[in-house]
Amino acid sequence: DGGITQSPKYLFRKEGQNVTLSCEQNLNHDAMYWYRQDPGQGLRLIYYSQIVNDFQKGDIAEGYSVSREKKESFPLTVTSAQKNPTAFYLCASSLGDRRTTDTQYFGPGTRLTVL
Amino acid sequence: AQSVTQPDIHITVSEGASLELRCNYSYGATPYLFWYVQSPGQGLQLLLKYFSGDTLVQGIKGFEAEFKRSQSSFNLRKPSVHWSDAAEYFCAVGGYGQNFVFGPGTRLSVLP
């Protein structure tokens, strides 16, 4: 079945450590996105990529980094510079590169907790 | 800049009752509107979307939504709620040149 997978489902990090969240899709979608979700808030865009080897900052990119070396993969690194990283992280993808209008499809999410 | 409001943080309905979740948006041009549902600890699932044409759109799981340009609204409805509909519901708006904006969500509880 086609879809988006995220791993791990739960992740614990000590302060000062960098961690990488995995996102893979087999939908042959061009665009991929990372969102952060906090309780009582909507989703906020961290980074997006419309094509391989290119990505753009979203609304809350500080303390995060990404790469897009393959069409199907878009890993997110939460660095030690991110002051409040505990959150639920969602990866999404869309068919075309029209990030503003194409339907976005979501993975199951990764819950990151900083100890 | 575009924005989305969902006035109801939490709604409780009895199983079998009708449901309406409100969504209001602010966007200067033609909006692309979406409703997603999220079960606890899960990702978002698309319920329905509106791009153009008929202002009443049908989605999965018996949901429908009506686009009212004059009221800048895109309310989600279901005639008879099932216990499995308990979840969080997000409205989102997209448009040319703007990233998706999600509302804060409405949590739905269903009483037996």
Domain segments of chain B: what residues? 3-111
**What is the Cα–Cα distance from B105 to A51, expressed in whole angstroms?**
30
CB contact under 8 Å between B99 and A90, yes or no, is no
Residue B28 has pLDDT above 80, yes or no: no
Task: Report pLDDT digits (tens) over A3-27.
Answer: 999 999 999 999 889 999 999 999 9
B92 contact residues in A (CB cutoff 8 A): 42
A45, A59, A107 member nearest B43 (Cβ): A107
Nearest CA distance, A99 vs chain B (angstrom): 7
B9, B41, B100 member nearest A104 (Cβ): B100
Nearest CA distance, B33 vs chain A (angstrom): 9
B90 contact residues in A (CB cutoff 8 A): 42-43
Report the CATH number of the B3-111 domain. 2.60.40.10
Express as a percent the part of chain A with pLDDT over 70: 96
Residue B97, Cβ neighbours under 10 Å: how many? 9
B45 contact residues in A (CB cutoff 8 A): 106
Helix-, strand-, coil-residue percentages of chain A, each rounded to 5? 0, 50, 50
Task: Report pLDDT digits (tens) over B60-89.
Answer: 999 999 999 999 999 999 999 999 999 999
The CA–CA distances, whole Å, from B108 to A11, A63, B20, B51, B90 equal: 28, 33, 10, 26, 11
